[in-house]
Amino acid sequence: MPTGTRAVPGTLQMVQRGGRSYWLVKLGQGCWQYEHRVLGACRLGRALRPREVVHNKNGDGLDNRLCNLEVIGWGEHSRQHHRITTWAQRYRACRQCRTTERKHLGGGLCSRCYQRQPGKRWKDRRVRHASRK
């Protein structure tokens, strides 16, 4: 149930657009609006301009918590989405283990490979502790 994430009272309807799901909210008789756009306008305190987009920061179009919404221009919006699909700014995957599952930590390495580098041994020590029963 999405009730926890809702901020606009009214009937909601889920729609699919471009492979993503969004909420439509009913504002009046036969008047349906994208909920994220209504909330974005609320947040700005004015109507959205035609070239403004309300972006769901975490990529989930159904997560319309205000902290997940950002009003940006078209050009900036496509850059945001590009950034999400590439793993790190200059790397498509970890250059050591080729994963994209773990987060990028630095230098083209995932969190695990980064900490396995010489001089970054604090994590190993913690693991040894944990296995000693």
Interface residues with Zn ion (CB under 5 A)?
A: 55, 94, 96-97, 110, 113
Q: What is the amino acid identity at position 56?
A: N
Among 88, 75, 65, 89, residue whose Cα is nearest residue 2: 65
From the CB of 62, what's the least distance to Zn ion, in Å? 13
Place of tokens 């159904």: 62
Query: Which residue, 25 or 37, is less far from Zn ion as judged by CB?
Result: 37
Place of tokens 């909330």: 39
Query: Which residue, 25 or 104, is less far from Zn ion as judged by CB?
Result: 104
Task: Give me the phi and psi of 68, to 5 degrees please.
Answer: -95, -5
From the CB of 23, what's the least distance to Zn ion, in Å? 14
Query: Which residue, 6 or 63, is less far from Zn ion as judged by CB?
Result: 63
